[in-house]
Structure 1
Amino acid sequence: MCGIFGCTSFREGVSKIIYDSLKKLEYRGYDSVGLATTHNGFIFVKKDQGKIEEVEKRLEISKLPGRCGIGHTRWATHGAPSKENAHPLTDCEGKIAVVHNGIIENYLELRDKLASAGHKLRSRTDSEVIAHLVEEFLSRGLTMEEAVRHATLLLRGSYAFALISASREDTIICVRMESPLVIGISRDFVCCSSDIPALPPEVENVVVMNDGELAILTPRAVTIEDLESGRQLPLRPLSKENVSALADKGGFTHYMIKEIYEQPQVALNVMSAPRPFILKLANELVKSDRVYLIGCGTSYHACIFGSYLLRFMADVDAHPVVASEFHDSCTKVTRGTAILAISQSGETADVLQVLRALRDKDVKLLALTNVLGSSITRLASLYVGLYAGPEIGVAATKTFIAQLLMLTRISIEVARIKEINRDLASSAEKLLKSSAKLIEKTLSVNESRAKDIAIDIALKNSAFFLARGINIVTALEGALKLKEISYIHAEGYPAGESKHGPIALVEEGYPCIFICPRDDTYNKMIGNIMEMKARGAFAISCIEEGDKDVGEISDRVFILPEIEFKPLAPALHVIPLQLLAYYTALVRGCDPDKPRNLAKSVTVT
């Protein structure tokens, strides 16, 4: 996830407006920043690796000349953080500049075609192909608008971009497809932004672009067209009063709830992630005799999920290990061993310690991380990004969903390389393709339920989360979320083990959360619910649509879409538990973004 901003004005000094707005977008990415403006028939570009204020001190990017420009703050997805890969990116002659947020799935194919046509691409990003495609169509005699339209129709993926040209000094052309983009209108300028909070205070009206729309911005007018047909569309501006109501954290009270609601977009991002990198990692797993998945906290829960899926779908000898216990757990590391390290930040000290200890051994070091350029990407021989964008809230939410979905994609590729379980792989892929809509539905159905159940449990001191099979992952993660932000002691447990000690704690009103998809464990889970209810438990169950049996024996329920590929149930069933933890924290007066004693990245062992 990156932040883009563009502005075209009647007055000079537009770079200062862009700079101020990029500072408000820095939460979307902060490994590099850049600006480009048009002036006297030229495009002026300044950009570099580093945070916005650091780059401003070095380059004075807020002082570029001109009345029209674009800016970008980057969260690396393709190409490591560097000046070369920073946006804006230009065409061969430096007459077109573009800033982009999102993922171009087919960029390698487009890059090869452009190179064959004589284009010189200078970065390792997917975004640069946009500028060169527009340049290519301009060379064929098309207008700027038509060149952008033709170029965009060649792109596959999710994206929002803004483009300027040296030949059109007062014009910004922008396009939206599955990545956010809004237009701000004031008396003196028109601007576009990835997010409403970055809009300058002078903005009086806002137009929220829809997918498949192209906008042409000048200081005098805003025109929106259908991307495919070119048909002009009506503007539907929001008033200034509505803008003010939406402007804080994108309309959300905390980053945590904002990031929970970004999970449908994360699912789209993961599905748009370039296949070649995933395929390379899958090939390394296929060639391995044994795979250890290592992580900490939420990432360790993803390791449990990934190990289960690799064994179930692809017959891989995969084992989850808590990173801090790796060297003391008698793990057998041989020449055929692969380590798949999972870390949201890429800086988790216990994970890095394992990788450093094995760096000089004949072991494959692989990684999944959300931060390109982090320490883990330099220690691993091969890594795949998670494409979740920056996660500000300390409690991991959207990065966990990204981990589960990316591990599913990897497992599908491994199964196909080994030519086994083709039906399972196809079923998993079908579900992945609909995952964004399923997550969206899960959120809309369960938010009000989470608010009500939060009131029920807010005064309790303890809770159990119980599940079987792969959904033990869901129980562990749900318990972790509740304890880390509401400070209620919560334990995730295999439901079958609850009779061996934990049931002694259950008394009248004791909250027990059950994860009950209609899979092979379903009937046993009903038995576990009845056991706890007989001791007075307050039963809260995550059930699938139409499940009357568990619904009737539960005190409260969350309702999930019914899915065919049951091993992916954790990606849906964990979402109401995220909501429950968030709203319980609010009822108890806790700050969900800043839980006590915790840090986003644990950099000590």
Structure 2
Amino acid sequence: KNNEMAVIRRGEPLSIFEIDSHTPSKISIKQLKLSLAQLEKGGYDTFMLKEIFEQPTTLRDCLRGRITGDCSRVTLSGVELNRDRFLQAERITLVACGTSWHAALIGKRLIQDFCQIPVEVEYASEFRYGNPVLNDRDIVIAISQSGETADTLAAIQLAKDKGAFVYGVCNVVGASIPRATDSGTYIHVGPEIGVASTKAFTGQVTVLTLLALAVGQLRGVIDSSTVQSVATALNAMPGTIEETLKCNDAVQKLSMFFTYAHNFIYLGRGYNYPTALEGALKLKEISYIHAEGYPAAEMKHGPIALIDQEMPSVIIAPSDSLYDKIISNVQQVKSRGGAVVAIVSKGNTAMKDIANFCIEIPDVPECLTPLVASIPLQLLAYYIAVNKGKNVDQPRNLAKSVTVE
């Protein structure tokens, strides 16, 4: 903790005490469930590729024990132990940075759809300086892979000072954010070595889906058929991701066409607007190609001016409630000479007549499409970066954990 010092001497027990008073501190030592294999590449060329292909396993770990056998109920101990806080909540604010912020945007839609609570999403760095209006009926959910993000930690302290209940969604057991929050849920995806987050993103989205279902049930505002269908599909998600990863070879070949592009635009609607942002961020982080994520419907309000033969577009177009709308976006890009890579639901043959390239993903409930759509986007960024000879595990100028402002 702050203002504590640890002293380690060979052959003696660990000593932790307060720096000012030299008073011994009470400590609880926990052994991490970590194997050496998790810290090695395991036959893969890079940690990032290993972590992309680990996602069926990591989501299995993330889901374990949280959905009942008949998929009729979702249980999170952090919600159950704080029932009154979630029952009385008038507003939820999600704070995060980077990839975690994209997960938060998906979480916002999930919580609003399933819990009928107003939700806001803030960059932690902006939240802490924005003089937020909070009270004891507010819940602030802080999301961080490392649990050490400086801006998010500062946002947590500000929220607690204003009386809000703070809930953490984190990966690293015993990190600063889990210790600073009032309660929370671990995503349990194991150590993520690659700087560009992959399995932590899908783990965060999975936990936020579980959280939305659990709170919706607690508040009695979600019908049992919705819980059953979403929980069943979520429970099957590890196998669904395994199926999705079969696109690897196709994406690797596709990447050759775009290795020397200078700009990309990623478009998505609804639940997949944040997926587009995340896909663009992955490409920027590891290939150093400029990429921009945008809500597809907003393309006509400016970005369409960028479209030409040198500007490829990646358009996320699963067969959901907004599919008919996004087809028009594909046609608009094509009519201006732009190349289109479309992420479509399996069996969609119509899009093949419009887009230059199609990558198929399994059909899942609309709210879960970010989990499967993110897989080909991770692979596309990865192979473009590899083709360019970049160090995908340690991209320039980036750190795995941002512990300063």
Within the candidate set 272, 277, 300, 1:471 is matched to 272
1:479 to partner: Cα distance: 0.2
Question: 2:244 corresponds to which residue?
Answer: 442
| CA distance in 2: counterparts of 1:278 and 1:379, whole angstroms | 14
Q: What is the correspondence of 1:235-384 to structure 2 with a 5 Å cutoff?
A: 249-273=41-65, 275-280=75-80, 283=83, 284-329=85-130, 331-384=132-185
| CA distance in 1: counterparts of 2:108 and 2:377, whole angstroms | 22
Question: 2:141–2:169: 8 Å Cα contact kept in structure 1?
Answer: yes
Q: Deviations over 1:363-417 (max 9, x none)?
A: 1111101112111112111121110111000000000000000111111111111
CA RMSD in angstroms, aligned pairs only:
2.3
Question: 1:266–1:387: 8 Å Cα contact kept in structure 2?
Answer: yes
Question: 1:313–1:425: 8 Å Cα contact kept in structure 2?
Answer: no
Task: Name the amino acid aligned to 1:597.
Answer: N
1:470 to partner: Cα distance: 1.1
Q: What is the correspondence of 1:173-572 to structure 2 with a 5 Å cutoff?
A: 195=37, 249-273=41-65, 275-280=75-80, 283=83, 284-329=85-130, 331-422=132-223, 423-444=225-246, 446-563=247-364, 565-572=365-372
Task: Name the amino acid aligned to 1:482.
Answer: L
Within the candidate set 377, 380, 394, 1:577 is matched to 377
Task: Name the amino acid aligned to 2:103.
Answer: A
Do the aligned partners of residues 276 and 567 (structure 1) sit closer, same or farther apart at CA in structure 2, a change above 3 Å counting? closer
Consecutive unaligned residues of structure 2, counting only runs of 5 or more, are 1-5, 13-26, 67-74
Do the aligned partners of residues 455 and 479 (structure 1) sit closer, same or farther apart at CA in structure 2, a change above 3 Å counting? same
| CA distance in 1: counterparts of 2:230 and 2:363, whole angstroms | 14
Do the aligned partners of residues 499 and 316 (structure 1) sit closer, same or farther apart at CA in structure 2, a change above 3 Å counting? same
- Name the SS for the 2:256 alignment partner: helix
Q: Deviations over 1:123-157 (max 9, x none)?
A: xxxxxxxxxxxxxxxxxxxxxxxxxxxxxxxxxxx
Q: Under a length normalisation based on structure 2, what TM-score does the superposition of the two structures give?
A: 0.88
Higher strand share: 1
| CA distance in 1: counterparts of 2:76 and 2:375, whole angstroms | 30
- Larger gyration radius, structure 1 or structure 2: 1
1:249 to partner: Cα distance: 1.3
Question: 2:144–2:169: 8 Å Cα contact kept in structure 1?
Answer: yes
- Name the SS for the 2:169 alignment partner: strand
| CA distance in 2: counterparts of 1:287 and 1:323, whole angstroms | 24
| CA distance in 1: counterparts of 2:147 and 2:78, whole angstroms | 18
| CA distance in 1: counterparts of 2:65 and 2:42, whole angstroms | 25
Q: Under a length normalisation based on structure 1, what TM-score does the superposition of the two structures give?
A: 0.60
Question: 1:511–1:538: 8 Å Cα contact kept in structure 2?
Answer: yes
1:438 to partner: Cα distance: 0.3
- Name the SS for the 2:257 alignment partner: helix
Question: 1:295–1:321: 8 Å Cα contact kept in structure 2?
Answer: yes
Question: 2:134–2:163: 8 Å Cα contact kept in structure 1?
Answer: no
1:439 to partner: Cα distance: 0.4
Task: Name the amino acid aligned to 2:238.
Answer: A
1:420 to partner: Cα distance: 2.2
Task: Name the amino acid aligned to 1:291.
Answer: I
1:86 to partner: Cα distance: 2.6
Q: Deviations over 1:190-211 (max 9, x none)?
A: xxx76399xxxxxxxxxxxxxx
Do the aligned partners of residues 344 and 410 (structure 1) sit closer, same or farther apart at CA in structure 2, a change above 3 Å counting? same
Q: Deviations over 1:273-304 (max 9, x none)?
A: 55452433773333211110000000000110
| CA distance in 2: counterparts of 1:504 and 1:426, whole angstroms | 44
Do the aligned partners of residues 424 and 58 (structure 1) sit closer, same or farther apart at CA in structure 2, a change above 3 Å counting? farther
Q: What is the correspondence of 1:135-174 to structure 2 with a 5 Å cutoff?
A: none
- Name the SS for the 2:342 alignment partner: strand
Give me the identity figure in percent: 37
| CA distance in 2: counterparts of 1:253 and 1:581, whole angstroms | 15
Question: 1:450–1:580: 8 Å Cα contact kept in structure 2?
Answer: yes
Q: Deviations over 1:534-583 (max 9, x none)?
A: 111110000011111212211111110012x2111000000100001111
Do the aligned partners of residues 312 and 276 (structure 1) sit closer, same or farther apart at CA in structure 2, a change above 3 Å counting? closer
- Name the SS for the 1:569 alignment partner: helix
How many residues get paired? 378
- Tell me which of the two structures has the higher relative contact order, counting C-alpha pairs closer than 8 angstroms and 6 or more residues apart: 2
Question: 2:317–2:343: 8 Å Cα contact kept in structure 1?
Answer: yes
Within the candidate set 364, 367, 389, 1:589 is matched to 389
Deviates more, 1:576-585 or 1:505-514: 505-514
Do the aligned partners of residues 330 and 497 (structure 1) sit closer, same or farther apart at CA in structure 2, a change above 3 Å counting? farther
Question: 2:398 corresponds to which residue?
Answer: 598
Consecutive unaligned residues of structure 1, counting only runs of 5 or more, are 1-49, 61-81, 88-99, 102-192, 198-247
| CA distance in 1: counterparts of 2:333 and 2:244, whole angstroms | 26
Do the aligned partners of residues 59 and 562 (structure 1) sit closer, same or farther apart at CA in structure 2, a change above 3 Å counting? farther
Do the aligned partners of residues 59 and 382 (structure 1) sit closer, same or farther apart at CA in structure 2, a change above 3 Å counting? same
Do the aligned partners of residues 559 and 58 (structure 1) sit closer, same or farther apart at CA in structure 2, a change above 3 Å counting? farther
Question: 1:254–1:593: 8 Å Cα contact kept in structure 2?
Answer: yes
Question: 2:266–2:279: 8 Å Cα contact kept in structure 1?
Answer: yes
